[in-house]
Structure 1
């Protein structure tokens, strides 16, 4: 997914421009630090204290120049309006967050508000149109049948969360003034791999296959996750 994000940034902003980025629900800060190393000014927003502590520890291990480019804020993703004025960011990331929000429309509207004109909104969500794929491929037919027609699922942490559908999010993005510009599938072939799976001997071919499938119909439509990119008008 990082390649997809870099492709969208490179296609929409001048080469070498230092962008203002907001990473909402940044977790341990992996994406925020990667983008700061690329020269961008990054603000990371996270409400989980343990995740925030891990991000701070990772940031402390970086060179001073990179540390100066990162600001960490402890806050809820739904409260961006309380922390940042309109038009504060060129790029806003919201990866792996919407599944924990019962009604994402207000959160997305808040993110659009803090985006500058022409800004990029990057979303990573669970694909509600493919919830039967994981249990079906695992041979859990009862769970696969239950997954049809629902937006609720149990994630690998054992939490009951929700999924989003491409058509609904496309309409939402249009409604908040950041219409869909591109979308990809993520984890088309690898969703059923266990967390402790041994890496393949040829990981580049695996990545190439995932990248190709994530851009190609009908494969991307059954991906476990969807990566959507909207552009603020």
Structure 2
């Protein structure tokens, strides 16, 4: 997904432009720190105390020139209008958040309002059109059958959450003035790999794995059955 995001940023903004980035649900700050190191100004929004602590700790290890371009705010992605003025950002990230929100449309609309004209909205969501894949490939036939007619599922943390369908999110983005520009599949071929499995030790094997995932995430029909979808909308 990192390569996909970089591709979209490079294709939309002049080389060397220092972008204003909002990372909603930034977690421990992995993506935010990567964009900071690339020279951008990043605001991270996170409500989980443990994630906030981890993000502050990670930021503290960065050089002062990087730290001074980062702002971390404790808060909820549904309250962006409280913290920021409309049009304040060039890029808004919301990765791995919508599955925890019962009604995602107001949140997505609020994120789009934060974008300046031509700004990029990057969403990472659970693919509601492929919920049967993981249990089916694992031989859990009852769960696979039940997954066809719902967008609700239990994630790997044991939490009851929800997924989004590509068609519905495409309509939402069009309706809020940030129509879908590009989309990718994420975790197409590796979704059933058990948590904690180390990556291949051999460099050529790891390169082949990443190349196969990248190719599958851009190619139909494979990307349509990915565990996650990465959608990029552009503010009109």
Give me the TM-score of the superposition, normalised by structure 2.
0.98
Equivalent-residue separation in structure 2 for 1:67 and 1:196 (angstroms): 31
State yes or no: 1:66 paired with 2:66: yes
Aligned to 1:100: 100
Deviations 1:46-91 (A, max 9, x none): 0001100000000000010100111000000100000000100000
Which of 191, 208, 213 lines up with 1:210 in the alignment? 213
Equivalent-residue separation in structure 1 for 2:198 and 2:13 (angstroms): 38
Aligned to 2:123: 123
Aligned to 1:165: 165
* Runs of 5+ consecutive residues of structure 2 not aligned to the other structure: none
More deviation, 188-197/7-16? 188-197
Aligned to 1:155: 155
Equivalent-residue separation in structure 2 for 1:134 and 1:142 (angstroms): 12
Deviation at 1:198, TM superposition (A): 2.5
Task: Indicate the SS of the match to 1:144.
Answer: helix
Superposed counterparts of 1:1-233, under 5 Å: 1-200=1-200, 201=202, 202-233=205-236
- Note the aligned Cα RMSD (angstroms): 0.5
* Runs of 5+ consecutive residues of structure 1 not aligned to the other structure: none
Deviations 1:71-121 (A, max 9, x none): 000000100000000100000000000000000010011101110000000
Task: Indicate the SS of the match to 1:121.
Answer: strand
Deviation at 1:149, TM superposition (A): 1.1
- Count of residue pairs brought into register by the alignment: 233
Aligned structure 1 segments of 4 or more residues deviating by more than 2 angstroms: none
Equivalent-residue separation in structure 2 for 1:188 and 1:170 (angstroms): 20
Equivalent-residue separation in structure 2 for 1:198 and 1:112 (angstroms): 37
More deviation, 161-170/199-208? 199-208
Give me the TM-score of the superposition, normalised by structure 1.
0.99
Equivalent-residue separation in structure 2 for 1:19 and 1:198 (angstroms): 34
Equivalent-residue separation in structure 2 for 1:121 and 1:114 (angstroms): 9
Task: Indicate the SS of the match to 1:128.
Answer: coil
Equivalent-residue separation in structure 2 for 1:198 and 1:64 (angstroms): 33
Task: Indicate the SS of the match to 2:129.
Answer: helix
Deviations 1:147-195 (A, max 9, x none): 0110000000000000000000000000000000000000000001111
